[in-house]
Amino acid sequence: MRILAVRILMNINIVTLVFLGTFVQGQTPTSTATITLEEVALQAPKTETTRSKLPFSISAQDLSAYQAIYQQLSLQEYLGSVPGLFSQNANNYAQDLRISLRGFGARAAFGIRGIKIIVDGIPETTPDGQGQLDNLPLSLLKSFEVLRGPSASLYGNAAGGVIYLNTLDELENHSIQLRTSLGAFGFQSYQFSTNLKGENTTAIIHANRTQTRGFRQFSGFEQNLFNAKIKHNYSPSSTIQLQLNYTNSPRAEDAGGINLEDTETDWSQARQRNIAYDTYESVDQFKGGLSWKKKWGNQWNLDTYGFYNYRDFYGKLPFENGGIIDLTRNYFGLGTRLNYQQGKHRWQIGIETAQQADQRNRYLNLEGVQGAIDFSQLERFDSFGIYLLDEVQWDKVLLRASLRYDDLRLGADSVVKSQAYQVLNPSIGISYQVKARKQLFASFSSSFESPALSELSANPTGTEGLNLELKPSRALNYELGWKGLWEKARFEANVFYIESTNEILPYELEAFPGRSFYRNTGATERMGLELFGAYQFQAWEVQLSLTQAQYQFSESDTLNGNALPGIPNSQLFLQLAYTTTSKWSFQLTGEHIGTFYADNANTVQVEAYQKVRLQGGKIISLASLEMNFFGGVNNLFDVRYFDNIRLNAFGNRYYEPAPGRNVFVGLQLNL
């Protein structure tokens, strides 16, 4: 690993010298922008406690300084600095980004499992634990927060970690933004954003069209997105916010997994069976959310939200029986929390409820043509949760504890008896101030993860009903860490140990090639070290994160001691960024991903790889017009690696190759 890290550093240094020689020649110290790190309160922990004092691991990033130079095609572009987080599948738009946090979420064959996704305070994850990011307006992202590790005492089912995304309330210093970008593989993106401002009301409206033919054959993607966010201040103590999102993705093709021999023959080829069966997905989705915040004096405040989500999904898979899926989902929920603060004592009580109804129809896929229906059922998942959070601070000690009760009920119209789970999830943490803005902390937390409806309905018998032999998984998390904040630097280090039972992992059957089924695989043990550092000096910013971990099966007759598939034991991230008041900016990012396995038996190893990304831009101001020219190079050194690994795939079809070196350029106009 040391040799690989040295290679990354050498490559970064070489490119940095070339870039600076070309674009920053003649810059003087007086033209640089100086940034000082400050303490901020985050939203994901549900209290206003500053980040350094919180007794658990949390990552946060303000994206505003460099957002304009990103390609804005995948959330993966933004999350690389988070220790313990691993993402794949950024280039298969039919399957969505696959994210794991300390191993939670690694099982997902598509979308996101086991991790709670929150956007502007509104849950994006369904009650059964399914999440997707295909409706996220990436260009509006302002910041993100990531709770690393089980957080069920705050967020309930499927909260092995939390990703909390915040979008812009308004455009800064202008009222209209036009953006277009072009790139390799037919990538095109056209965006329009505008502000509407009143005395007490602000609104930001955004529309975006993105399309690409994809790097691999048969991997094209087309999407149209509309997003509106309206914020109104009734009074200095009362604010209401409305969110509306509509996403139309008429076609996202799936090139499928191929075996290693096929990758050597043609790196960009699609699986021929996927082409023959016309495998793609089409999505229409509407989401509406309303939130209200109210304060009474300096002690009481109330935070309430409600939302409705409708998703119409149509997809084709590369087999005949049940190879076409037509899914209609209605998902809505309410939540409220009451906060009280007296001096250095805070407590909170919260209630959340959500209901999900999936009408799932499967048809014969007659080599791309829809045949007769062979499966139809209405599936439901209802959840109710109530939690208490208490936080007390003394001179140098902060103690934080929470407890949540969840009642989960699921079933289908083809099943006589419904399934119910009642669970309690506690957490407790303590932090101690060693010196000013230097903290030691220790914490314990738990999580509960039910199987998702799509996993339960993937019945190996092929019949209607739910596979109720699939059991929920539980996990206990222990961690110990240290946080330090200086004027120009931040450093965090922690170790964790997690025990889980009834781990859920996917597998494939010969009769249904390309379709994932799920089973419990026993207990696991996960332990690791996570490091993060950031340093800012005048125009320069450096970020470094390191994850060294071990994820393995335990208490299993056949898998004991094997590594969990799909999760690397080592990750290294290094980013060098530069910006000046003359409005040049660039980012140079290097990542090392260690080896991992593609199957439970650990017979197929995926080799380690490194990738480097360079992106930059220049802002030119002309009266009231601001022009931002930007561009970048992905996979700068043209490394061969796999964009996704399909776990336990039948026929050794584990591999989805990633694109080589590719370029994007664009122009953004701010009026």
* Of 538 and 615, more confident: 615
Q: Which domain holds residue 609?
A: 2-670
pLDDT band at 25 (very low <50, low <70, confident <90, very high): very low
Single-letter residue type at 411: G
The first and second tokens of residue 179, run together, are 């953006």
The first and second tokens of residue 640, run together, are 């061969």
Cα 56 from Cα 441, distance rounded (Å): 7
End-to-end Cα, the chain, rounded Å: 48
Pick the closest to residue 660 from 184, 299, 43, 159 (CA basis): 184
CB count, 10 Å around CB of 301?
Answer: 18
pLDDT band at 26 (very low <50, low <70, confident <90, very high): very low
Please give the DSSP secondary-structure letter assigned to residue 258.
Answer: B
CA angle 189, 190, 192 (to 5 degrees): 140
Q: What CATH number did the domain enclosing 51 receive?
A: 2.40.170.20
Cα 221 from Cα 364, distance rounded (Å): 24
pLDDT digit string, tens, across residues 577-610: 998 877 899 999 999 999 999 999 999 999 999 9
Pick the closest to residue 271 from 606, 654, 607 (CA basis): 654
pLDDT band at 35 (very low <50, low <70, confident <90, very high): low
Pick the closest to residue 634 from 175, 212, 282, 310 (CA basis): 212
pLDDT at residue 244 in the model: 98
The first and second tokens of residue 534, run together, are 């950031």
pLDDT band at 36 (very low <50, low <70, confident <90, very high): low
Cα 618 from Cα 453, distance rounded (Å): 48
Cα 451 from Cα 435, distance rounded (Å): 44
| In contact, 334 and 352? CB cutoff 8 Å | yes
pLDDT at residue 478 in the model: 98
* Distant-in-sequence, close-in-space partners of 17: CB < 8 Å, separation ≥ 6: none
| Angstrom distances, CA of residue 262 to CA of 271, 384, 404, 492, 659 | 9, 48, 49, 43, 15
| In contact, 399 and 346? CB cutoff 8 Å | no
Q: Which residue has the tokens 């990538």?
A: 187
| In contact, 381 and 360? CB cutoff 8 Å | no
| Angstrom distances, CA of residue 658 to CA of 89, 234, 463, 609, 648 | 9, 50, 36, 11, 19
Q: Lowest-confidence range among 367-371, 557-561, 609-613?
A: 557-561
pLDDT band at 14 (very low <50, low <70, confident <90, very high): very low
Our count of domains for the chain comes to 1
Q: What percent of the chain clears pLDDT 70, i.e. is strictly above it?
A: 93
The first and second tokens of residue 595, run together, are 């080896």
Of the ranges 29-38, 134-143, 457-466, which is most confident? 134-143
Phi, psi (deg, nearest 5) at residue 20: -65, -35
Please give the DSSP secondary-structure letter assigned to residue 648.
Answer: T
Polymer length in residues for the chain: 671
| In contact, 113 and 131? CB cutoff 8 Å | yes
Q: Which residue has the tokens 């995926």?
A: 606
* DSSP output for 543-578: EEEEEEEEEEEES-TTTTTPBPTT--SEEEEEEEEE
pLDDT band at 16 (very low <50, low <70, confident <90, very high): very low
pLDDT digit string, tens, across residues 279-300: 999 999 999 999 999 999 889 9
* Distant-in-sequence, close-in-space partners of 510: CB < 8 Å, separation ≥ 6: 650, 651
| In contact, 321 and 512? CB cutoff 8 Å | yes
pLDDT at residue 33 in the model: 44
Q: Which residue has the tokens 């450093």?
A: 491
pLDDT at residue 10 in the model: 38
pLDDT digit string, tens, across residues 426-474: 999 999 999 999 999 999 999 999 998 988 888 777 667 788 888 999 9
Mean of pLDDT over the chain? 91
| In contact, 355 and 127? CB cutoff 8 Å | yes
| In contact, 33 and 580? CB cutoff 8 Å | yes
pLDDT digit string, tens, across residues 196-228: 998 999 999 999 999 999 999 999 999 999 999
pLDDT digit string, tens, across residues 536-570: 988 999 999 999 999 999 977 788 999 999 999 99
